[in-house]
Amino acid sequence: MQVTLENEKENVVKLDITVPAKEAADAYNNAVKRISQYVNIDGFRKGKAPRDMVEKHVGVERIKQEALEGLMPKVLSQAIDDNKLDVITQPYITSYDFTVGQDLKVTAKVETRPEVTLGEYKGISLEVEDSPIAEDALEKAIDNLRTQHSETKIITDRATIDTDIVKIDFDGSVNGEKIKGGEGKNYPLDLAHSNFIPGFAEQLVGKNLNDEFEIDVTFPEDYHDESLKGQKAVFKIKINEISEKIKPELTDEFVQKVGPFKTVDELKADVQKYLEEARENTNKNNSENEIFKKVIENANVEIPQSMIDREAQSLLAEYKNRLAAQGISWEMITKAQSEEELTKNINEDAKIRIKNSLVIDKIAKTENLTLEKSDLDKKFAELSAAYRISQQDLYKQIAKNPEILSSLSQQAMNDKVRDFLVKNNKIEIVPPKKSKKVEEK
């Protein structure tokens, strides 16, 4: 087999391949045998019809197609391996000249991995701002724990306050027309953490049980429903129930109920330890991100537009799937933001993802970083914990969908390269800079 390469624009390589006549003829005859196994030809049992009858019945071109489908995967794979092409797409045939008894001539094209020129990626010195624990972090964490174990008490002898939870009937209208989906019965609403229209919950404060009244609100300009953007609305309200959360006292008896603690001090020590670990993890993640960002900035790579287009299509599909899972249509999004602007943002994200991936692969090859079984085991454990499934069930899912393994392998290599960069660069955690406003004070 002879192969001639020609580099075309944007990392596309053209392969002119000549397959010896005998090999091409063998592929043709094998195709005849395969086709004869499933076609019905009068006077012959399946698989027993002579070549000329099969050619007459299905046509020579159909046999050639079958022969190429059987022959070309091996031929193209050998051509790629022999010429050490680092391909990122499946090769595709653009033309062929196939006459039985003569050499088969095939022209194919394939896209190769863009060349990455690494800049400085070792021995870099960087300062990363510390993520200190807030002075009231311990107090807030303990308070959140108390809130989680609060008891609900029904209120009948006072008006609502802004920390209450109420159950209401509501019915909204704009210009006298009822709002589609703008009504509810016995709807629970936390007045302190409402995601309703701005100003809605605030107007329910100071009301008594069984009060019926109207409130005026204005839908925000960025509201997802185009017909309601900036519209003034009236809601009829009835208070059906008022309740408040009663937090338990912070006592030794309480902490013994919520965890393996005997005293309040033990709980506080455990929470403080958690806060310290969270701080360390945040600093570690920030350090990895900053050094990786610097390495990416130092690298140079020309990314073909075709590669960007493919990645952008993949990102768009992921985005639409996430929206659909939240009950949001693409049309709703394009009403709030132009499709042109969304496409531009997705293309930029695609470029970033591609460059990140290419640089990671280049560093891994340059430094001979390879995946060990332990690297993948760690990713399996993480995925198993995240989705709360056994690793045995996870392996079954991977067997059905090999793309999962490919994705996990890429993630594991990403982690390995990031660890390498942290170890081979100097990162100093420094106190956070004071803002200008703080300095002025």
pLDDT digits (tens, 9 = 90+) for 263-305: 999 999 999 999 999 999 999 999 999 999 999 999 999 999 8
Predicted confidence (pLDDT) at residue 441 exceeds the cutoff of 50: no
Q: Where in the chain is the domain with CATH 1.10.3120.10?
A: 276-430
Residue 382, helix vs strand vs coil? helix
pLDDT for 386: 83
Q: How confident is the model over 72-122, as pLDDT tens digits?
A: 999 999 999 999 999 988 899 999 999 999 999 999 999 999 999 999 999
Q: Where in the chain is the domain with CATH 3.10.50.40?
A: 151-246
Residue type, 207: K
Across-strand partners of 117? 300
pLDDT for 288: 93
Average pLDDT over residues 351-356: 93
d(CA 410, CA 404): 10
Predicted confidence (pLDDT) at residue 45 exceeds the cutoff of 80: no
- Element holding 321 (H helix, E strand): helix 305-325
d(CA 65, CA 106): 13
What is the average pLDDT score of the chain? 90
Which CATH architecture fits 151-246?
Roll (3.10)
Here the tokens at position 290 are: 């900053």
Task: Name, in order, each residue with C-beta under 8 angstroms of 87's C-beta and a sequence gap of 6 or more.
Answer: 80, 110, 111, 112, 113
Average pLDDT over residues 251-264: 94
Q: Which has the higher per-residue pLDDT, 392 or 127? A: 127
Q: In the structure, what pLDDT confidence band is assigned to residue 436 with cuts at 50, 70 and 90? A: very low
Closest to 321 measured CA to CA, from 306, 307, 333, 339: 333
Contact 75/98 with Cβ under 8 angstroms?
no
> For 284, phi and psi rounded to 5 degrees?
-65, -45
Q: How confident is the model over 193-222, as pLDDT tens digits?
A: 888 999 999 999 999 999 999 999 999 988
pLDDT for 8: 87
CB atoms within 10 A of CB 355: 17
CATH number of this structure's domain 2-113, picked from the four choices 1.20.1250.20, 3.30.70.1050, 1.20.1440.230, 3.30.465.10: 3.30.70.1050
Out of 125-134, 308-317, 405-414, pick the least confident: 405-414
Which CATH architecture fits 276-430?
Orthogonal Bundle (1.10)
Predicted confidence (pLDDT) at residue 437 exceeds the cutoff of 60: no
Q: In the structure, what pLDDT confidence band is assigned to residue 330 with cuts at 50, 70 and 90? A: confident
